[in-house]
A and B are shown apart, each in its own frame.
Chain A
Amino acid sequence: MNLYHRPGAQWLAYLVFYVVLAAVPFVVSDNFLLNQLSTYGVFAMLALSISLCWGFGGILNLGQGIPFGLGAYGMAMTMQMQSQDASNPMPPFMLNNSLDRLPLFWVPFWNTGVGITLALVVPTLFCAIFGWLMFRARVSGPFFAIMTLAMLSAWGTLILDIQPYTNGVNGITPPAPLKLGEIVVDPYSPAAYWTVLALLVLATVVAKLMTLSRFGLVVQSVRNDAERVRFLGYNVAGYETAIYTISGFFAAVAGCCWVMLTQYVSPAQFDTTFSLSMVIWAGIGGRMSLMGAILGAFLIQGAQSYLGDAFLNTWLLILGGFFILVVRFLPKGLIGLVESALGRLSSSTGGKTDGNGVSSIRSRLLQQPGE
C-alpha cells in the first residue's frame, strides 16, 4: 500500500520535519531571521487549524481571523498591563482618548495568568457558541463560509470603532516583551522560536491523533455525507461545532504567539485578506493533509517575504493565479504530488494489500495490519 497513507510513515515525516526545524537556531545566528521564522511557525499553526476544519471537516471557514485576532488582542492586553502599575494603571492611548479610569474588561488582564487564559478561552467560547447556533440550524457549505466572513467584518469594525478601549486602527503596541514570572521572553531569541515550535509540535500531535480517532473518522464522514451520519445516530451539529471550536482554539494559540513575537496587534488581523491567506496556505499545501497545510504556510509566507518585496503589488496577482492553478490541477494541493509519486513507487514495487479484520491501537497509530 501507498507509503503516503501509512500512519507510521506519517509520524516519521513529522519527526524529521520538526527535528530539522528545532535545529535551525544552531545554524541561523541572525535574530531577525529567527524571529521571522518563528512567525512562520505561527502561520503554520493557523494553516493546521484550517486543515482540521476545512480539510477534514469540510467546513470552509473564511473567518479564522476572529479567534486569531481575539487571542492576539487578549495577549496584547496582557502584555500591555505588564507595563502598567498601580500608580500608572492606564495604557497611554487611553489617556489620549480621555478615559478617566481603566475599563472594567481590562481589569482581569492585570494578572498574566488570567489574561492569557482569557485570550484563549474567549475566542474558543465564541467559536463554540457561534458554531453551535449555525450548525444546529444546519447552516453549511458556502452559507457557513459567508456567515464567518460577515462575522469577521463585524468583529473588525467593532474593534476599530471602540477606539478609547482598543486604540482603534492604531492597535495595541505593548512596550516590553512578555514576562512569564521572572522570565522575559525576548521575541528575537531562540527561546521564543523554540516556544512557538513546541506549541506547533504539540498542536500537530493533538491534531494528528484527533484525525486518527473515532472522532476524526466521524468528522470525515460528515464531510462526505452529513445526512447519512445522522442516521447512524451521531449528532452532526455537535461534531461540526467541536471541530470548528478546536480549530478556533488553535487559531487563538497562534494569535497569542504572534503577539509574543511581534509585540503588536491591530484590526488588520481581522482583515478578510488575512483570513483568506490562511485558506490559501492550506489550499496550496494540501488541505486534506496536516503536513501539507503546514508546509503551505511556510512556503507561501517564505516566498512572500522574499519575492513579495521584489514584485510588490503583483505578488497578490501571482499568488492568486497560483492558487487557481493548484485548485484546478492539484485538488489535493502540492502534497498531492508526493502522494501520487509515492503511490507510483509502491505500485511498481508491488505493495500488498491486507484483508484481516483486527484493529488495535498499535495498528491504527503505527502501522496497518498485515504489513
Chain B
Amino acid sequence: MSFLEIRNLCKSFDTVSVINDFSIELVEQTLCCLVGPNGAGKTTTMDLVTGRQKPTSGQIIFCDDDITGLDEHEIARRGIGRKFQVPAVFRDLTVRQNLEVAYSRSTHPLKNLFRFRAPGFADKLDEVLSVTGLGGRLNIEAGILSHGETQWLEIGMVLMQNPRLLLLDEPVAGMTESEIDKTAEIFNNLKRTNSLVVVEHDMAFVRQIADVVTVMHMGSLLAQGPISEIEANERVREVYLGETGEA
C-alpha cells in the first residue's frame, strides 16, 4: 500500500512552470531523500504537500485520503510534520514553551482557553529531550540559541507533533560533523516507525540515511532508486552530481 502518493503534480506561477508532471510513491517506514540542483522544485514540492501552496493540477494522496488543496493546519493534523529550510522557531518563547506549542494534540482555540496542561506531555518531552539533548536549555529563550541548537529545537518540535510523515528541508545545514552523525542516527531510528522525506545537498549525509533517493530536475522526476543506482546513473551525474563535483 502506498503511504504518500503524488500524482502528476504541476505548479506554475504565471507562465513559469516550477513543478512539471511530477509523480512519486512512498511506502511506509522508509526514508526518501529528495535531491536535485537549485531550482529543481524540491522546496516547492514540500510546500505543495503541506498545503502552503496549492497545486495548479495533480493530486496528493496521503493514507488513501486526497489531501490536495487542504489548509496547512488540516494537513498537519493528519500527521504530516515539517521542518523548514530556515529554522523557524518561536524566538520570544522559551525552549520548553516551543516544545509545548508543538505538542498539538488538542488544537481547538476555545477548548485550550483555560487548559494548562496536555496529557502525556511530560513523557513526550522527556523522550524528545533525550533525542535532541536540549534538556539544559529548557528555560532560555529560543532566540538566543546557536544555529545548531535551533535546528535541533525545530527537529524536536516536529517530533513533539508525533507525525506519521516527516518532511525535513535541509535539516543538517550549519551542523558540525558530529552533530550530522547524531542526526543520521536519529533519522535511522525514526524510520522504524515513521516515514521521512529529507531534502539534502550533503551527499555524504544522504548515503548515511537514504533508503530511496529521488532526483528532481526542472520540476520533474529524473531518477529514483537506491543510492548506488543513483550515483551510477549517467543523467544524474550530468545534471547534478557532475555539477557539484561530488560522488
A and B pair up: yes
A342 lies within 8 A of chain B by Cβ = no
Select which of A229, A354, A368 is within 8 A of B101 by beta carbon.
Answer: A229
B118 lies within 8 A of chain A by Cβ = yes
Decide yes or no: A359 and B117 within 8 Å by CB, A221-B101, A230-B73, A232-B157 being known contacts: yes
The interface residues of chain B lying within 8 Å CB-to-CB of A350 are none
CB contact list, A201-235 vs B, under 8 A = 209-210, 212-215, 217-218, 220-221, 223-225, 227-235
A14 lies within 8 A of chain B by Cβ = no
> Do B109 and A359 have beta carbons less than 8 Å apart?
no
> Do B114 and A233 have beta carbons less than 8 Å apart?
no
A357 to B123, CA, bound (A): 9
Closest chain-B Cβ to A274's Cβ sits at a distance in Å of: 29
Select which of B71, B116, B161 is within 8 A of A212 by beta carbon.
Answer: B116
The interface residues of chain B lying within 8 Å CB-to-CB of A228 are 84, 88-90
B92 lies within 8 A of chain A by Cβ = yes
Closest chain-A Cβ to B75's Cβ sits at a distance in Å of: 8
> Do B92 and A214 have beta carbons less than 8 Å apart?
no
Q: Please choose the segment from A38-46, A90-98, A236-244, A252-260 that sits at the chain B interface, where 4 or more of its residues have CB less than 8 A away.
A: A236-244
Closest chain-B Cβ to A362's Cβ sits at a distance in Å of: 10
A78 to B74, CA, bound (A): 44
Interface of B, secondary structure class, is: loop
A180 to B48, CA, bound (A): 58
A-B contact count (CB 8 A): 120
> Do B116 and A364 have beta carbons less than 8 Å apart?
yes
Select which of A214, A224, A242, A365 is within 8 A of B90 by beta carbon.
Answer: A224
Select which of A227, A233, A360 is within 8 A of B88 by beta carbon.
Answer: A227
Closest chain-B Cβ to A327's Cβ sits at a distance in Å of: 18
Decide yes or no: A232 and B116 within 8 Å by CB, A1-B139, A242-B110, A357-B135 being known contacts: no
A76-93 CB mask vs B (1 if < 8 Å, else 0) is 000000000000000000
> Do B93 and A361 have beta carbons less than 8 Å apart?
no
> Do B116 and A218 have beta carbons less than 8 Å apart?
no
The interface residues of chain B lying within 8 Å CB-to-CB of A225 are 88-91
Select which of B72, B102, B129 is within 8 A of A230 by beta carbon.
Answer: B72
The interface residues of chain B lying within 8 Å CB-to-CB of A357 are 96, 122, 125-126, 129, 135, 138
Select from chain B the residue with minimum beta-carbon distance to A358.
B122
Decide yes or no: A235 and B93 within 8 Å by CB, A1-B139, A230-B76, A357-B135 being known contacts: no
B233 lies within 8 A of chain A by Cβ = no
The interface residues of chain B lying within 8 Å CB-to-CB of A353 are 139
A279-317 CB mask vs B (1 if < 8 Å, else 0) is 000000000000000000000000000000000000000
> Do A232 and B139 have beta carbons less than 8 Å apart?
no
Select from chain A the residue with minimum beta-carbon distance to B92.
A224
CB contact list, A1-21 vs B, under 8 A = 1
A215 to B98, CA, bound (A): 13
Select which of A210, A231, A239 is within 8 A of B114 by beta carbon.
Answer: A210
Decide yes or no: A224 and B77 within 8 Å by CB, A218-B101, A357-B125, A365-B116 being known contacts: no
The interface residues of chain B lying within 8 Å CB-to-CB of A238 are 108-109
Closest chain-A Cβ to B142's Cβ sits at a distance in Å of: 9
CB contact list, B70-120 vs A, under 8 A = 71-73, 76-77, 81-82, 84, 88-93, 96-98, 100-102, 104, 106-110, 112-118
Select which of B76, B108, B121, B136 is within 8 A of A232 by beta carbon.
Answer: B76
Closest chain-A Cβ to B115's Cβ sits at a distance in Å of: 5
B132 lies within 8 A of chain A by Cβ = no
If A213-B115, A214-B115 are given as contacts, then 13 extra A-B residue pairs at C-beta distance below 8 Å, sorted by A number, are A1-B139, A215-B113, A217-B93, A217-B100, A217-B101, A231-B52, A231-B72, A233-B77, A239-B109, A357-B96, A357-B129, A358-B122, A359-B100
In the complex, 7 of the A-B residue pairs with CB atoms within 8 angstroms, ordered by the A residue number, are A213-B115, A220-B90, A224-B92, A232-B101, A353-B139, A354-B139, A357-B138
